[in-house]
């Protein structure tokens, strides 16, 4: 069974540009989560989508946004990129989105903002 | 106080040693607890969930003390393959939603 996939694996942008990151959950999973892992910091929760709806949002500015498509894949958009946005962006999925469930992570997208 | 706090390490232990990691969390309403493992430049993977009664999976034992808001992970008979960063994770729900909070991780190096 295929795991969570993310694309691209690496992304280089310049300050002020926009970045779009994509995630495909494990087949049958309806919940998708986005996390940011900056160097020296732990995983920071960004967004949670379930059944096409945004269920929760972490403490990030509105220029971080996303959506979930009918096939449960998801997109994270980061507008007006800042140097501090350079990080590993991890997507995870779970079956139905409950607090006791395991979250399965993808390999991440490494975003570098110059 | 940080929401989930761990000793960053690194813990450098010889093969066969027993090593214990501790984690404290600040939100007394936390409802779910996990240990994830993250290898260098890889994604996190669930190691084990942590239950109030404590639980064991082979060489790994996890304990939860709700009164002290403290979680532990014990690894017995350490193997070289146990070298990784161990993430303490706590889940809090409310208002029809929930969120996992990850600690920064404790790095373990098992030395031959």
B75-78 long-range contacts, CB within 8 A, separation 24+: B75/B18, B75/B19, B75/B20, B75/B21, B75/B108, B76/B18, B77/B16, B77/B18, B78/B13, B78/B14, B78/B15, B78/B16, B78/B17, B78/B18, B78/B19, B78/B108, B78/B110
Q: Based on C-alpha coordinates, what's the Rg of chain A?
A: 13
User: Do the chains contact at A100 and B87, CB–CB below 8 Å?
Assistant: no
Say if CB B71 and CB B23 are below 8 A apart.
yes
| B22-41 mean pLDDT | 94
Mean pLDDT per block of 10 residues along chain A (114 residues) reads 93 98 97 94 93 94 97 98 97 90 95 98
Instruction: For residue B44, give the chain A residue with the closest CA.
Output: A105
Share of chain A above pLDDT 90, in %: 89
Q: State mean pLDDT over B70-92.
A: 96
Q: Find the radius of gyration of the CA atoms of chain B.
A: 14
Give chain A positions within 8 Å (CB) of B34: 102
CA-based nearest distance A51→chain B, Å:
13
Query: What mean pLDDT is predicted for residues B93-111?
Result: 90
Q: Angle A8-A14-A15 (CA atoms, 0-180°, nearest 5)? A: 120
Instruction: Supply B34's token pair.
Output: 């996990």
Inspect the interface and report whether the beta carbons of B46 and A103 lie closer than 8 Å.
yes
Tokens encoding B49: 């969930």
pLDDT by residue (tens digit) across A28-43?
A: 999 999 999 998 888 9
Query: What is the Cα–Cα distance from A17 to A63, expressed in whole angstroms?
Result: 11
Partner residue opposite B97 with nearest CB, options A56, A100, A106: A56
């Amino acid at each position: 069974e295929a795991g969570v996939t993310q694309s691209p694996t690496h992304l280089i942008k310049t300050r002020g540009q926009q970045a779009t990151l994509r995630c495909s959950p494990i087949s049958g999973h309806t919940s998708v989560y986005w996390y940011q892992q900056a160097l020296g910091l732990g995983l920071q929760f960004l967004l949670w989508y379930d059944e096409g709806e945004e269920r929760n949002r972490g403490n990030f500015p509105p220029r971080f946004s996303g959506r979930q498509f009918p096939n449960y894949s998801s997109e994270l958009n980061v507008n007006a990129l800042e140097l501090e946005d350079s990080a590993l962006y991890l997507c995870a999925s779970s079956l139905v989105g409950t607090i006791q469930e395991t979250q399965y992570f993808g390999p991440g997208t490494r975003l570098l903002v110059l | 106080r940080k929401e989930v706090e761990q000793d960053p390490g690194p813990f450098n232990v010889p093969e066969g040693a027993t090593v214990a990691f501790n984690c404290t969390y600040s939100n007394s309403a936390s409802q779910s607890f996990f240990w994830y493992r993250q290898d260098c430049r890889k994604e996190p993977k669930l190691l084990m969930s942590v239950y109030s009664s404590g639980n064991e999976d082979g060489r790994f034992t996890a304990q939860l003390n709700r009164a002290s808001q403290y979680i532990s992970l014990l690894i017995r008979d350490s193997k070289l393959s146990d070298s990784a960063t161990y993430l303490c994770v706590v889940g809090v729900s409310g208002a029809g939603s929930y969120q996992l909070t990850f600690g920064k991780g404790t790095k373990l190096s098992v030395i031959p």
